[in-house]
Structure 1
Amino acid sequence: MGGALSLTLAALVYPAMLGIQNVSTSPSRIVAQTSSGPLTEADRDFVVKVRAAGLWEYPVGQMAIQKGTSNAVVTAGQHLVAGHAALDATVRRIAPQLGVTIPNLPSPQQQGFVSTLSADSGQQFDSDFANILRITHGQIFTTVAKIRSTTRNTLVRALADQANTTVLDHISVMEKTGLVNFDQVLFQETAPPKLPATDVTPPAPAPNAPLVVLTPPPSAPQG
């Protein structure tokens, strides 16, 4: 890992799956009573986070399948595509039951990740891909655990179970690329810069816009 990677990470990597920073005014405040239990601000934000994560990590996974220069990077991309297609199907199913409006675009910050990786090629792509995705998944891992341990909503709890398995899988496949700079990753995970809410919030969907669907791959990746 060279200086270029350190500069890339320092410039780009920050809370990832929408709102590692807590943008809720009161996370424990109940915003709705549903048939699956009370829904808090934190629960609602989590459903949106999972949706927003897929909206940028799914296309980045497709990039890795197409541009990765090693089998490990291609495999990691396959896991991103399969994992987020499955999570997205769950989110699209439960969001109407919970009364949660989900976005069709990722946050400006997440769109920046996509733009950066779109411009990368060769080993630079492999390295940025593995490190950015390892940081973002490492940061959200604790958020998933907190939701799983505190929610009283059965649908949100099941989503957290699924997200926990998926995020751990994605952490593992990033590490298996052999490209993760753990010193940089751990620093970014524990000391991310603060960003304005506008940067980490996905835009609201346009009225009557068709819902974006993340299409499942023909078959599940082999780990």
Structure 2
Amino acid sequence: MIAARSKRRLHRWSVGVLAMTLTVLLAPAGMARAADATPVPVPPNTGLTDKGAGAVSAADRDFIIKVRLAGLWEIPAGNMAIEKSEDPRVVSIGRTIAQQHVVLDKLDIAVAKKLGVALPNQPNSNQQGWLNEMKNATSSETFNQIYIDRLRAAHGNIFPAIATIRASTRNDSVRKLAQQTNQFVMTHMTLLESSGIVDFGSLPTAPAPAAAAGGPVPVDNQMLAAAGAGGVPGVNTSVILLVLAGALVAGVITTMRIFRTR
């Protein structure tokens, strides 16, 4: 009888410990999922002035010109999407991007006028070639692929340049234009990807990372990212927790079986 009571106590104790441990182990995974639902912050409209104050670098001038060039070919490309595509998604994407580039073009022209930057009135030779490709497309499917891939690649190319100008320019008007352009370009990249036909394999790859700084322990970007996230490179934290929980369950079951046989 005493032995039976001991077994029952052991069983209740084992179940209680198992439940508490599983709660502790799985809580971080639950919190991580909850964190995933946190809204992404939107940059505030405060703190950005537009007085034309500050030195204007050659990179700033080049950026202003590139924003203008983007509108000179993406507006007619979007109009072609409305006319030539039979896919409602592509038509909607083309219309939205064309309309938004009209707005961005006005912002760019205003900054260029303020800073005395001469702007082009025609697309460059590469952009004209892409427009000709779209014009010569003989089917809706062919046009759609050309339109989506050319615009997605172009937006990907200018995206890093925007970040560099936003982070480094000394001129307040260029800084504001870079932040505004960033919002437009991110929106357009997402719209283009929503088509579901982007050929990601054809996009240029990122350059190799710079050599890590010297020190007693070599550190690379992956390790820094993992340290900041509180994880291990290449290992999913949820998987680790589930493995530990499974091992604990197996251990408790084995212990209970041993006592039952006594």
TM-score calculated relative to the size of structure 1: 0.67
Instruction: Report the Cα offset of residue 50 of structure 1.
Output: 0.3
Q: Which runs of 5+ in 1 are unaligned?
A: 1-33, 192-223
Q: 1:127 aligns with which of 129, 142, 145?
A: 145
Q: Is structure 2 residue 63 aligned with structure 1 residue 46?
A: yes
Q: Which runs of 5+ in 2 are unaligned?
A: 1-50, 209-262
Between the aligned partners of 1:67 and 1:155, the Cα distance in structure 2 is: 38
Provide the residue aligned with 1:65 in structure 2.
82
Is the radius of gyration larger for structure 1 or structure 2? 2
Would you say how many aligned residue pairs link Structure 1 and Structure 2?
Answer: 157
Provide the residue aligned with 1:96 in structure 2.
113
Q: 2:155 aligns with which of 113, 134, 137?
A: 137
Mapping 1:73-222, distance limit 5 Å: 73-120=90-137, 121-187=139-205
Higher relative contact order (CA 8 A, sep 6+): 1
Asked if the contact 2:71–2:102 (Cα under 8 Å) also holds between the matched residues in 1, the reply is yes
Q: CA RMSD in A?
A: 1.7
Q: Which has the higher helix share?
A: 2
Instruction: Report the Cα offset of residue 65 of structure 1.
Output: 1.3
Give CA deviations for 1:113-146 in whole Å, capped at 9, x if unaligned. 1111111131000011111111111111111111
Asked if the contact 1:72–1:173 (Cα under 8 Å) also holds between the matched residues in 2, the reply is no
Give CA deviations for 1:94-125 in whole Å, capped at 9, x if unaligned. 21210100010011111111111111131000
Amino acid at match of 2:189: I
The runs of 4+ residues in structure 1 deviating greater than 2 Å are none
Identity of paired residues, percent?
40
Q: Which has the higher strand share?
A: 1
Give CA deviations for 1:194-220 in whole Å, capped at 9, x if unaligned. xxxxxxxxxxxxxxxxxxxxxxxxxxx
Give CA deviations for 1:58-116 in whole Å, capped at 9, x if unaligned. 10011111112212101110122122101110111121210100010011111111111
